[in-house]
């Protein structure tokens, strides 16, 4: 982004903060219901300075990273199989859609029961929530590979593997990365929901603590802010990878 | 004159394409088959240039794909130097109607794509790339550009270089220049001839342009509407090397009229020129054996 683009982003953010402050002033809401932006900012800086947030953030990031890797990895394989085999699609897609349609919130306590309150349960939830968008994007991407390019590959006696690496993957990459953009933000949601259902550490746990036993609404907002920043950062990482791999076509 | 003899002197050495009693059909949904090519017999000597011409949907492109080994004939054989073609062969290069470049690769990486697939080491690829860009007259400055940044003509040059990458003996072209404007197309046709003069490849070109067919080919093979049969095999009596001025010769209009008559254009058959008389009678009865018409 150039300078004027950054300026406009900053300007919109300032408007957002002003609106927030105006609502607090106009409604006269207590800080434990809606704290004003400056209170949240002070709490945010304070919670970072005294080491309240960092360990929780680290736990959540590990869950998101592992869950995304596992979920997206499996989704790439499944998406390819769905695209290339009508049988696989017919047999698997009902389960795929059913798994996606079932609220993750309802499944989270079950997973906590099965996999315990440690890392594993969160990785499973993250993987599950990431799986669907990436699998569907991969399927669509592989299906949209130009049949004429595949014929070219055949005329040049490309092997199955060469077709995959030199034609199908590069052609499907924009779609796949689009699915990953969605998937990576969902992975954060998955981790928080998983932690909510039972964990000792993580940003979801911190929100629960701030809301319940600590009754520290500004801290809760600071935790939410951290989650939002994590989501934006991960999204931008995928966008950067996309720029690098896909570039201008 | 022997020194000026075109590479036809090499005829028969390699790159000879033979089609023997070739039938092709596409299966339909009901399980029946939809005939596309019917009893195609054609001999193309190594180093020869043949243009395939015919109405839309007559199976010209299908025939090209059978020779390229992309489609298997239902009956009969396609042969290269006497051996049946049973799949894509590195001795056969194919240029499609559209450039068909990989949009995510640079022009250079598109040209070396066949070499990469064949497992050539990068150093050898680079060497061959330099030779190929020279061969097809590609501006080396565009080597790093993506296909989307190139003009239609440049893209087709890249596609031609790619088809020549593995040094095929036979070059198959499926209406390769049909998307280009008339002037550019003539220039490409002539460049193709210059390339042929240097490399002695066998060329089979599908076209729907009679002037293009006459300018390029030794023989123009005329096909009937689907199911495609060969209705005429018209020899082009023009000396080589040819230039664009050759298109003004009387032979050309006579040959064009003959081809047009075989294509079933009634206007062409109405007023046969006197010297065309012996063949004109044959022209009115398409379906006669090609030998009769060409003699």
Give the pLDDT score at B13: 64
Confidence of residue B275 (pLDDT cuts 50, 70, 90): very low
- Residue A121: which residues within 8 A CB-CB, separation 6 or more? A111, A112, A114, A115, A194, A197, A198
Q: What is the pLDDT of residues B220-271, one digit of tens each?
A: 999 999 889 999 999 998 888 888 888 888 888 889 999 998 888 766 654 4
pLDDT of residue A198: 85
The predicted structure's pLDDT at residue B23: 93
Average pLDDT over residues B62-72: 95
Per-residue pLDDT at B103 exceeds 90 = yes
Which tens digits make up the pLDDT trace of B81-93? 999 999 999 999 9
Mutate to test the interface with B, among A148, A149, A154, A156 (most CBs of B within 10 A): A156
In this prediction, residue B280 has a pLDDT band, given cuts at 50, 70 and 90, of: very low
Determine the pLDDT at residue B267: 62
d(CA B196, CA B218): 12
Instruction: Please count the CA atoms within 13 angstroms of the CA of A11 that sit on its side-chain side.
Output: 6
Question: What is the model's pLDDT at position A206?
Answer: 93
User: Per-residue pLDDT averaged across B101-121, rounded?
Assistant: 96
Q: A152, B103: Cβ pair inside 8 Å? A: no
Token digits for A169?
């993957």
> What is the predicted ipTM?
0.81
Confidence bin at B3 (pLDDT 50/70/90): very low
The DSSP line for A72-123 is HHHHHHHHHHHHH-HHHHHHHHHHHHHHHHS-HHHHHHHHHHHH-SSHHHHH
| Residue from B85, B117, B158, B164 to probe the interface with A (highest A Cβ count within 10 Å) | B117
Among B98, B101, B102, B155, the residue to mutate for chain A (most A Cβ within 10 A): B102
Residues of A whose CB is below 8 A from B117: 153, 156-158, 162, 166
Give the distance from CA A89 to its chain's centroid. 25
- Predicted local confidence at residue B200, as pLDDT: 81
B1–chain A Cβ distance below 8 A for any pair: no
The pLDDT, as a whole number, for residue A241 is 93
In the prediction, which pLDDT does A17 show?
94
Q: Which pLDDT belongs to residue B9?
A: 42
Q: Does B254 touch chain A (CB under 8 A)?
A: no
Contact A74, A137 (CB under 8 A): no
Closest CA to B196 of B237, B247, B241, B246: B241
* CB–CB contact A151 B114 (8 Å): no
Instruction: Give pLDDT tens digits for B18-46.
Output: 999 999 998 888 888 888 999 999 999 99
The mean pLDDT value of chain B amounts to: 85
pLDDT recorded at residue B129: 96
Phi, psi angles (nearest 5°) of residue B294:
-75, -25
* Dist CA B78 CA B96 (whole Å): 19
* B54-58 CB contacts, 8 Å cutoff, 24+ apart: B54/B208, B54/B222, B54/B223, B54/B224, B54/B225, B54/B228, B54/B263, B55/B223, B55/B224, B55/B225, B55/B263, B55/B264, B56/B208, B57/B225, B57/B226, B58/B223, B58/B224, B58/B225, B58/B226, B58/B228
Global pTM exceeds 0.95: no
Contacts of B170 in chain A (CB under 8 A): none
Sheet (strand B170-174) strand order: B92-95, B170-174, B202-207, B49-53, B219-223, B230-235
Distances (CA, A) of B191 to A49, B11, B143, B167, B177: 73, 21, 20, 17, 12
The pLDDT profile of chain A, 249 residues, written as one tens digit per residue, is: 678 889 999 999 999 999 999 999 999 888 888 999 999 999 999 999 999 899 999 999 999 999 999 999 999 999 999 999 999 999 988 988 888 888 888 889 998 899 988 899 999 999 999 999 999 999 999 999 999 999 999 999 999 999 999 999 999 999 999 999 999 999 999 999 999 888 889 999 999 999 888 888 999 999 999 999 999 999 999 999 999 888 755
Spatial contact of B162 and B113, defined as CB atoms under 8 Å apart: yes
pLDDT given for residue B240 in this prediction: 85
The β-bridge relationship of strands B83-84 and B230-235 is unpaired
For chain B, the first-to-last Cα distance in angstroms comes to 25
């Amino acid at each position: 982004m150039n300078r004027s683009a950054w300026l406009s982003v900053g300007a919109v953010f300032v408007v957002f903060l002003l609106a927030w402050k105006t609502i607090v002033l106009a409604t006269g809401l207590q800080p434990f219901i809606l704290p004003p932006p400056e209170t949240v900012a002070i709490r945010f800086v304070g919670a970072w300075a005294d080491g309240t947030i960092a360990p929780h953030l680290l736990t959540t990031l590990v869950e998101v990273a592992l869950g995304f890797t596992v979920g997206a990895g499996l989704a790439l394989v499944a998406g390819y199989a769905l695209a290339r085999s009508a049988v696989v699609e017919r047999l698997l897609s009902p389960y795929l859609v059913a798994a996606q349609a079932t609220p993750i919130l309802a499944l989270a306590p079950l997973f906590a029961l099965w996999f315990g309150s440690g890392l594993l349960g969160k990785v499973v939830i993250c993987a599950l929530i990431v799986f669907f968008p990436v699998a569907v994007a991969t399927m669509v991407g592989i299906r949209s590979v130009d049949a004429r390019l595949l014929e070219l590959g055949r005329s040049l006696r490309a092997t199955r593997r060469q077709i995959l690496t030199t034609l199908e993957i590069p052609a499907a990459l924009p779609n796949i990365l689009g699915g990953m953009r969605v998937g990576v933000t969902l992975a954060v949601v998955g981790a928080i929901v998983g932690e909510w259902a039972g964990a000792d550490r993580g940003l979801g746990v911190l929100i629960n603590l701030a809301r319940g036993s600590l009754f520290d609404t500004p801290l809760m907002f600071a935790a939410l802010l951290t989650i939002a920043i994590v989501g934006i950062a991960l999204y931008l990482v995928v966008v950067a990878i996309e720029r690098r791999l896909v570039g201008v076509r | 004159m022997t020194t000026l003899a075109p590479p036809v002197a090499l005829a028969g050495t390699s790159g000879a394409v033979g089609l023997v009693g070739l039938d092709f059909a596409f299966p339909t949904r009901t399980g029946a088959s939809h005939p596309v090519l019917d009893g195609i017999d054609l001999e193309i000597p190594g180093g020869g240039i043949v243009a395939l011409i015919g109405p839309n949907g007559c199976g010209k492109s299908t025939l090209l794909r059978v020779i390229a080994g992309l489609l298997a004939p239902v009956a009969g054989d396609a042969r290269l130097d006497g051996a049946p073609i049973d799949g894509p062969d590195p001795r056969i290069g194919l240029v499609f109607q559209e450039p068909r470049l990989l949009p995510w690769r640079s022009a250079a990486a598109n040209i070396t794509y066949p070499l990469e697939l064949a497992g050539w080491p990068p150093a050898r690829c680079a060497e061959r790339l330099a030779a190929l860009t020279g061969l097809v007259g590609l501006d080396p400055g565009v080597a790093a550009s993506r296909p989307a940044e190139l003009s239609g003509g440049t893209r087709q040059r890249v596609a031609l270089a790619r088809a020549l990458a593995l040094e095929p003996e036979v070059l198959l072209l499926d209406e390769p220049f049909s998307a280009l404007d008339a002037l550019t197309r003539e220039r490409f046709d002539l460049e193709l001839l210059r390339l042929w003069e240097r490399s002695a490849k066998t060329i089979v070109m599908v076209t729907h342009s009679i002037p293009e067919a006459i300018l390029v080919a030794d023989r123009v093979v005329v096909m009937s509407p689907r199911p495609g049969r060969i209705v005429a095999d018209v020899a082009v009596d023009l000396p080589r090397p040819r230039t664009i001025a050759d298109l003004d010769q009387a032979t050309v209009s006579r040959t064009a009229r003959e081809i047009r008559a075989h294509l079933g254009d009634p206007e062409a058959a109405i007023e046969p020129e006197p010297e065309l008389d012996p063949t004109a009678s044959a022209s009115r009865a398409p379906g006669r054996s090609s030998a009769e018409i060409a003699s």
